[in-house]
């Protein structure tokens, strides 16, 4: 794992965009695993700028999103279909035929159909040649995607029950009304994430500091799902100074030494 600490959120996002853009320029048909939430917004803004001002070409890429709430149609303002369209896809020249976001309209009571759909999503990833770069955020409790603490470290795409902490954290996106926050989601599993050739995790703000410390310097444990990235053969963790404030090792010096 290579840990890079940037001074602030904007610098963190620019560095992450540099990594993503290099992947796309080296392989125009790259397969990208994408994430939602507040953390990647700055990265997406920078990628849009690169597309408009520097000609970064997204026309041949394939995308797979990490997750989606169960029960929200694609047009719902808090669905991840809507998020991706408004914050990235409609601003770049991505081919919608190659965009994949889990459906939030599967019925949680139809277990066989859910399993079949999750298997279908996994097969689409395999048919695409696998994910070249998987973008990740991290929850304050150490979750990645919707793999909550206690999740299997080898699981593939599946339905998950959201923890009370995650629902509370996401209530701000639903007008502060916890009752409006879905209780279930479809998510790539940690096994799916770990199969990506490169993992790029971002974190900003002091509220993520303990999760980052546990992820980087703690034991690998299902209690902190993100800690599994310690085992990845090519993982990049880019954080701002506040998110990295509890780390014991001086990673900035380590990065300079590498250069």
143 carries an active-site annotation:
yes
**Catalytic residue (one of 51, 68, 122, 143):** 143
**Catalytic residue (one of 67, 169, 240, 242):** 67
**Catalytic residue (one of 68, 122, 132, 148):** 148
7 carries an active-site annotation:
no
CA 185, CA 71: separation in Å to the nearest integer?
8
Render the burial of 208-244: b for 16+ CB within 10 Å, e for the rest: bbbbbbbbbebeeebebbbbbbeebeebbbbbbbbbb
User: Measured between alpha carbons, how far apart are the two ends of the chain, in Å?
Assistant: 15
CA 239, CA 201: separation in Å to the nearest integer?
8
CA 179, CA 170: separation in Å to the nearest integer?
11
Asked if residues 182 and 72 have their Cβ atoms less than 8 Å apart, the reply is yes
Q: How would you class 22 by CB atoms within 10 Å of its CB: exposed for 0-12, middle for 13-18, buried for 19 or more?
A: exposed
Tokens of 119: 């298997």
Catalytic residues: 67, 141, 143, 148
């Amino acid at each position: 794992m290579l840990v890079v600490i940037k001074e602030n959120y904007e610098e963190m996002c620019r560095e992450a965009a540099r990594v993503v853009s290099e992947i796309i320029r080296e392989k125009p048909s790259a397969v990208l695993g994408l994430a939602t939430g507040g953390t990647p917004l700055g990265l997406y803004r920078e990628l849009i700028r690169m597309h408009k001002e520097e000609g970064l070409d997204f026309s041949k890429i394939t995308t797979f999103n990490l997750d989606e709430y169960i029960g929200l149609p694609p047009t719902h303002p808090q669905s991840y279909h809507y998020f991706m369209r408004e914050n990235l896809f409609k601003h770049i020249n991505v081919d919608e035929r190659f965009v994949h976001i889990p459906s939030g309209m599967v019925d949680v009571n139809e277990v066989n159909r859910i399993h079949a759909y999750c298997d279908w999503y996994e097969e689409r990833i395999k048919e695409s040649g696998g994910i070249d770069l998987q973008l990740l955020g991290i929850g304050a409790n150490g979750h990645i995607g919707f793999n909550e603490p206690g999740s299997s470290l080898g699981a593939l795409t599946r339905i998950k029950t959201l923890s009370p902490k995650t629902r509370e954290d996401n209530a701000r996106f639903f007008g502060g009304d916890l009752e409006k926050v879905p209780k279930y989601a479809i998510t790539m599993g940690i096994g799916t994430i770990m199969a990506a050739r490169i993992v790029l995790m971002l974190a900003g703000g002091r509220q993520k500091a303990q999760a980052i410390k546990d992820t980087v310097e703690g034991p690998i444990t299902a209690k902190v799902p993100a800690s599994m990235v310690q085992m990845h053969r090519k993982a990049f963790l880019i954080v701002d100074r506040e998110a990295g404030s509890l780390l014991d090792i001086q990673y900035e010096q380590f990065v300079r030494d590498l250069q």
